[in-house]
Structure 1
Amino acid sequence: MLIRRATSADRATIHAIHREAFRREPGVTPVEAPLVDDLRADGDLVDALSLVAVREGDLVGHLCGSRARVGEDTTSAVGLGPVGVLPAHQAHGVGSALMHAVLGAADALGYGLVVLLGEPAFYSRFGFVAASTLSITAPDPGWGRYFQARTLTGYTSTQAGAFEYAPAFSRL
């Protein structure tokens, strides 16, 4: 499996990956598929953090990071997600490989914090903790322990306060 940066040629396949990965009912496109398109169109997708997993020449997974704000800091936090893997490739290490790659890339780019909304049982293995333990407030208090953060080398304790995802998330 190869993890690489997404290219413009991958856009339709990335949309399809998220459509299939998050499909809840037949014929209904889940919000995660157009979210990636909207982040890109708004200029909030961090290109170096939009990664695809390639297996035997086919794209089987995608995840992305987007610009975010924590407190007054608008430059050192990333909102992570969506993370999508085609159903036939789930539970085969694709999502984990994407997570390791994006965390390494975000750290190399100098970001101090990666934030996501997801299942603690899955994301804790990558060092994510409840964001509240880092004094980071979720956009929705009901998210509770599912709102998580992962510190990177560039993290400082001043990266605290209310978290805001890129505007595309608010339009969901």
Structure 2
Amino acid sequence: MSTFTINIRQETPLDHAAVFELIEQAFANIEYSDHKEHFLVERLRKSEAFVPELSLVAEVDGAIVGYILVSKLSIKNQTSSVESLALAPVAVLPEFQHKGIGGQLIRKAHIIAQELGFKSIILLGHAEYYPKFGYQALHTFSITYPFDVPKENVMAIELEKGSLSNVFGMVEYPKEFLE
């Protein structure tokens, strides 16, 4: 088995073209994808939801092989709004998948999000994959999801223990997710 060193760092504008291609390749053969994740990232970079420190690339030998974006969202009810984060997307080039790169990107994003003071992250993803990183089904909290998707695929993690225990309402994504 070949070993390689992975460098995870914040994305820069010079990385945008490589990241666009990487995301397109990573999702090309994914069944439950609209195959437009690369366009979502472009829209989010220009939005108020964008957190530059949470737009990360993974490099191997100077080449970008993985990417993760974690951006702001809200959990709202009639009287309050709580800021949270959305993990979307995490992408790894097909030839580098199943080597732990996505997991390293997720763990690094969690650390940075905590350092920035964020308390939770919500995602729509594979029910078997994300629980390895501490994600729980969203329906175990008092939070609802705005789209009709299988409940086992919508998850959240408390970056600060108990941060979602008194939160109730519906996830509200930035408009860039809906375009």
- After TM superposition, the score normalised by the length of structure 2 is 0.88
- 1:95 shift after superposition: 0.3
Which amino acid is the alignment partner of residue 40 of structure 2?
A: L
Matched, 1:35 2:40: yes
C-alpha separation between the residues in 2 aligned to 1:143 and 1:41?
A: 30
Cα drift, residue 166 of structure 1? 1.5
- Aligned partners of 2:9 and 2:56 also within 8 Å: yes
- Select the residue among 123, 137, 151 that pairs with 1:116: 123
Are 1:22 and 2:27 an aligned pair? yes
How does 1:44-123 map onto structure 2 within 5 Å?
A: 44-71=49-76, 72-75=80-83, 77-123=84-130
Query: Which structure shows the higher helix fraction?
Result: 1
1:102 is paired with a residue of what secondary structure? helix
Partner of 1:149: 156
Partner of 2:52: helix, strand, or coil?
strand
Identity across the alignment (%): 32
1:61 to 1:7, Cα distance in 2 relative to 1, 3 A: same
Structure 2 alignment gaps of length 5 or more: 1-5
Shift of 1:43: 3.2
> Is the 8 Å Cα contact of residues 73 and 159 (structure 1) preserved in structure 2?
no
Unaligned runs of 5+ in 1: none
Residue type at the aligned position of 1:130: A
Partner Cα separation in structure 1 for residue 152 and residue 124 of structure 2: 9
The more displaced of 136-145 and 117-126 is 136-145
Counterpart amino acid of residue 121 in structure 2: V
Give TM-score, length-normalised by structure 1: 0.91
* Residue 4 (str. 1) matches residue 12 (str. 2): no
CA distance 1:156–1:124, change in 2 (3 Å): closer
3-state SS of paired residue (1:45):
coil
Aligned equivalents of 1:24 and 1:95: distance in 2? 17
Picking from 132, 152, 163, the partner of 2:171 is 163
Count of matched residue pairs: 167
Instruction: Please tell me whether the aligned partners of residues 141 and 164 of structure 2 are also in contact (alpha carbons under 8 angstroms).
Output: no
